[in-house]
Amino acid sequence: MSEPIVTKLKFVKGYAFGVEFDVEGMPSIIVDETKPTGENLGPNPTRLLSAAVGHCLSSSLLYCLSKAKIQAKNMETTVKTNIVRNEEGRLRVQEIDVQIRLDVPEVDKPRVGRCLEIFENYCTVTSSVRKGIQVNVNVV
């Protein structure tokens, strides 16, 4: 088992917290709730979850492509996180839809298929989130 990741949150004001990470030189960020609850000083937890899922999937795909010696010309990932009210009326993340727009050289397109088959299995965040939230991925 690897060392745990340690993230510290320090109260700023209202619902805003400064977040410090356990990596030397990594900048801290502000997280907050959206208005009217918070002041939009930074992303809220749901947006951080969306970013984490999107980044993890994108990075996993890029890593696989690099191992296959395929250079991505461009990649754009859009994450749509659907929130609903549960039986008690509380907001919950129901589903996350991820679309990755991948652009590779024409000559490499026939070799991308294997990465598309396996890259999701290497995304730590998505594989963990899928234990409780449906995550749909579409690469175009």
* Surface-to-core class of residue 32, CB atoms within 10 Å of its CB (0-12 exposed, 13-18 middle, 19+ buried): buried
Strand-pairing partners, residue 74, are 103
Class of domain 45-139: alpha beta
The pLDDT tens digits of the residues spanning 105-137 come to: 999 999 999 999 999 999 999 999 999 888 899
Q: What is the pLDDT of residue 21?
A: 97
Residue 98 structure tokens: 């991820």
* Helix and strand counts by DSSP (H, E) for the chain: 3, 6
Residue 18 pLDDT greater than 90, yes or no: yes
The pLDDT tens digits of the residues spanning 76-86 come to: 999 999 999 99
Residue 1 pLDDT greater than 90, yes or no: no
Residue 31 structure tokens: 């997280």
Residue 66 structure tokens: 């690099």
The pLDDT tens digits of the residues spanning 32-58 come to: 999 999 999 999 999 999 999 999 999
Domain-wise residue ranges, the chain: 1-43, 45-139
**How far is residue 61's CA from residue 118's CA, in Å, rounded to a whole number?**
9
Q: What is the pLDDT of residue 72?
A: 96
| pTM of the model as a whole | 0.91
